[in-house]
């Protein structure tokens, strides 16, 4: 998803739980995943159908969050949480989960964005794919004049460019991706707090949510 929309979701879900400085730390780590180095990691973005690797990455970042909290390193905990949310949010924009769900529930006119189910385990979904991201193709499409010419004749349907729901220009399904990704952001937050409480206790939950004075 584009930075603006990652930011919108983080604000909507987390701004009542974290102060502005902490929200900035989470957001910065989330958005950095789209920097050039992050583009070398399809699993950060659920690209190339790397669902197993993406789930492993999310799990690792959740563990890092817990370890950082145990070591009283709030900044590292907030950043790891921001990174895992990026992957979770990108899932809904880069995979075919949203089109599959909308089609299954009667299409755009019947199915409302808020009623799309969350994908709780991509590894058991048999028809799930995500767009193939290719840096050379991405660069090719951006060459002035030539890029748009090539795109007319070479636009693979399973490419990231064809499948993504990164912004509203990609069509009406974008709103569904946003709605589901926002709800899953909320769920990740609740699950993380539950894990922190279970492993480190209530005081760690409190210190994660508000810095000590
Ligand atoms: Zn991304």
- Residues 14-39 have pLDDT tens digits of 999 999 999 999 999 999 999 989 98
Rounded to whole angstroms, the Cα distance separating 125 from 150 reads: 34
The length of the chain in residues reads 213
Tell me how far the alpha carbon of residue 201 lies from the centroid of ligand 1, in angstroms.
Answer: 32
Cα of 1 vs centre of ligand 1, distance in Å, is 6
pLDDT at 170: 95
Q: How far is the CA of 200 from the centre of ligand 1 (A)?
A: 30
Cβ pair 84, 68 in contact under 8 A = no
**Cα 49 from Cα 97, distance rounded (Å):** 11
- Dump pLDDT digits (tens) for 166-210: 999 999 999 999 999 999 999 999 999 999 999 999 999 999 998
Is the separation of the CB atoms in 195 and 66 below 8 Å? yes
The pLDDT value recorded for residue 132 is 92
- Ligand 1 centre and the CA of 31: distance in Å? 8
3-state secondary structure of 119: coil
Dihedral, CA atoms, 111, 115, 130, 1, nearest 10 degrees? 110
């Amino acid at each position: 998803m584009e930075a603006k929309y990652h930011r919108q979701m983080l604000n909507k879900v987390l701004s009542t739980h974290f102060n502005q400085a902490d929200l900035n730390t989470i957001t910065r780590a989330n958005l950095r995943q789209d920097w050039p180095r992050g583009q070398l990691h399809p699993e950060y973005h659920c690209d190339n159908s790397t669902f197993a690797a993406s789930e492993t990455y999310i799990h690792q970042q959740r563990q890092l969050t817990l370890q950082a909290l145990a070591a009283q390193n709030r900044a590292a905990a907030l950043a790891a949480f921001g990174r895992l949310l990026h992957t979770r949010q990108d899932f809904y924009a880069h995979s075919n989960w949203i089109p599959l769900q909308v089609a299954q529930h009667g299409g755009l006119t019947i199915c409302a964005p808020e009623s799309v189910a969350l994908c709780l385990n991509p590894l058991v979904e048999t028809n799930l794919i995500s767009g193939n991201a290719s840096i050379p193709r991405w660069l090719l499409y951006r060459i002035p004049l030539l890029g748009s010419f090539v795109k007319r004749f070479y636009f693979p349907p399973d490419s990231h460019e064809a499948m993504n729901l990164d912004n509203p220009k990609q069509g009406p399904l974008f709103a569904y991706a946003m709605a589901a990704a926002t709800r899953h952001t909320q769920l990740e937050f609740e699950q993380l707090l539950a894990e922190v409480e279970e492993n480190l206790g209530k005081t760690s939950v409190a210190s994660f949510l508000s810095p000590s004075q």
